[in-house]
Amino acid sequence: MKNCRVVRSLPLLLLLAAAAALVSGRAASADAARDALSLCARIVIPSLFPYMVVSSMTVSLGAEEIMGRPLRPLLCRILRLPDAAAGAFLLGTLCGFPIGVRAASALYARGKLTKEEAERLAAIANNVSPAFLVGVVGAVYWHSAAFGALLYAVQLLAALLIGAVYARSAPRPWDAAAEKERRTAPKAADWAAAFTASVGEAASSVVTVCGFVVFFSCLFSAFSSIARSVGLDGAVLWAAPFFEMTAGVGRAAAHGGSLGLFLTGFAVGWGGLSVCAQAEAFAAPHGLSLRRMLAAKLLQGCVTGAAACTLAARFPAVTASAAADAASPLSPAPLVAAELTLLSLFCLFPVIFRKRA
What string of DSSP letters covers 305-348? HHHHHHHHHH-HHHHHHHHHTTTSPPPSHHHHHHHHHHHHHHHH
Q: Given pLDDT bands bounded at 50, 70 and 90, which one contains residue 231?
A: confident
pLDDT of residue 287 exceeding 60: yes
Residue 18 included in any domain: no
Does residue 32 belong to any structural domain of this protein?
yes
Domain contains 19: no
Mean pLDDT taken over the chain: 75
Residue 57 identity (one-letter amino acid): M
Per-residue pLDDT band at 181 (split at 50, 70, 90): low
Q: Which of 111-125, 159-173, 257-271, 323-337 has the lowest mean pLDDT?
A: 323-337
What amino acid occupies position 309? C
CA distances from 190 to 85, 161, 195, 227, 251 (A): 21, 37, 9, 54, 47
188-219 core/surface letters (b: 16 or more CB in 10 A; e: else): ebeeeebbeebeebbeebbebbbbbbbbbbbb
Which of 21, 8, 48, 72 has its CA nearest to residue 221? 21
Cα separation, 155 vs 122, whole angstroms: 15
**Per-residue confidence (pLDDT) for residue 254, from 0 to 100:** 83
* Count of domains for the chain: 1
Cα-atom radius of gyration of the chain, to the nearest Å?
Answer: 21
The answer to whether 90 and 65 have CB atoms below 8 angstroms apart is no
User: Do the domain assignments include residue 21?
Assistant: no
Among 69-73, 141-145, 146-150, whose mean pLDDT is lowest?
Answer: 69-73
Q: Is residue 105 part of a domain?
A: yes
Amino acid 82: pLDDT: 83
Residue 88: band (very low, low, confident or very high) from pLDDT cuts 50, 70, 90: confident
Confidence of residue 46 (pLDDT cuts 50, 70, 90): confident
**Residue 96 is assigned to a structural domain of this protein:** yes
Instruction: Give the CA count within 13 Å in the CB-facing half-sphere of 61.
Output: 29
**pLDDT beyond 60 at 348:** no
Is 261 or 140 the better-scoring residue by pLDDT?
A: 261
Percent of all residues in the chain with a pLDDT value above 90, rounded to a whole number: 9
The reported pLDDT for the residue numbered 36 is 82
**Residue 96: which domain range?**
27-356
**Mean pLDDT of the region 111-139:** 86
- Average pLDDT (252-259) is 83
Q: For the chain, give percent helix, strand, coil, nearest 5.
A: 80, 0, 20
C-alpha to C-alpha distance for 276 and 264, rounded to whole angstroms: 17
How far is Cα 116 from Cα 108, in angstroms, rounded to an integer? 10
Among candidates 129, 128, 149, 127, which has minimal Cα distance to 138?
A: 149
**4 belongs to a structural domain:** no
211/36 Cα distance (integer angstroms)? 9
Instruction: Decide if 151 is inside a domain.
Output: yes
Whether the predicted pLDDT of 266 surpasses 90: yes
The residue-averaged pLDDT of 305-320 equals 69
pLDDT over 90 (residue 92): no
d(CA 120, CA 125): 9
